[in-house]
Amino acid sequence: MKRRTFVVSTPGRIDGALREALKFDRDEVLAFVERGAVYLNGRRVKDAGTRVGPGQKVMVVLEEGGESVVAERAQPSPPLVVLHEDQDVIAVNKPAGVVAQPTPGRVGDSLLDLVSAHLKYEAGLVHRLDRETSGVTVFGKNPRATSTLAAEFREGRARKEYVAVTPSGLKEQGVIDLPLSKDPSRPGRWRASKQANGIDALTKYRRLSDDGEHCVVALYPETGRTHQLRAHLAGIGFPILGDSLYGGGGAERCLLHARVLDLTGPGLRVEAPIPEDLSRWMK
């Protein structure tokens, strides 16, 4: 039997705690609850809306007898949207809810699986977007191209533009220069603070609109740290809508989209259209 156990750190619903702690999407959480695979303080949970509090212990049975307890609920693979393809590079529009690469206990295909199936051989993974983030992702089609692309990201030559939705009140433009460090009180979370001994991280931003309740903002990361944009916006008091890990609510998913990617080496600029769940905020 394969199982995962964690202790709740913040009050809320058990479905939210599962999504935050184990990076499950909503359908996976519902599937585990419906199969009776979730336990709270040793008692089976029958309702995904069950309230939980700090210190309570949650256990999830991921596999029994070597097989996933929700394998039969695996969803059909989403269609692969190719934005650009040449002899060296393929760029695709990653849907929200798809992981970048296979992970233990994950039901369904990763973006790497989908691209590799399209190519009929293993694609070269060079960068990743978070599960709930949508937008431009590139892969190498051969070892030389993969190495070149990886160097673009590693050496900071890949220029990126993201779009996100935040609470109202963000300044017209600015620079967030806050080091990032792992949050010891919240596994999987990063904190943006000059007080902690963190790694340098720099994000420029430009507000696109503000309707009095929410802002749409363009984000230009100058560094490529894990959760940089999410942690930076939360660090200045404007968490991205739907980003429950960093205090954002009001949406079904973290409303962050990788809209543009400029690669200086290949001389390639790729744009991904704004998804419907984000574009309605822009209207």
C-alpha to C-alpha distances, 88 to 20, 81, 108, 119, 137, nearest whole angstrom: 36, 17, 27, 12, 14
Tokens representing residue 61 in the block: 């049975």
Question: What are the structure tokens assigned to 168, written together?
Answer: 């109202």
Q: Under a CB-based contact definition with an 8 Å cutoff, are residues 14 and 48 in contact?
A: yes
Identify the active-site residue in 25, 109, 130, 183: 130
Go through 88-98 and write b for each residue having 16 or more CB atoms within 10 A of its CB, e for each that does not.
Answer: bbbbbbbebbb
Decide if 109 is catalytic.
no
Structure tokens at 93: 């529009």
Instruction: Please state, as a whole number, how many other Cβ atoms lie within 10 Å of the Cβ of residue 133.
Output: 25
- Torsion angles phi and psi, residue 58, rounded to 5: -115, 135
Residues sharing a CB contact under 8 Å with residue 254, sequence separation 6 or more, in sequence order: 96, 130, 132, 133, 230, 240, 241, 242, 243, 244, 248
Catalytic residues: 130
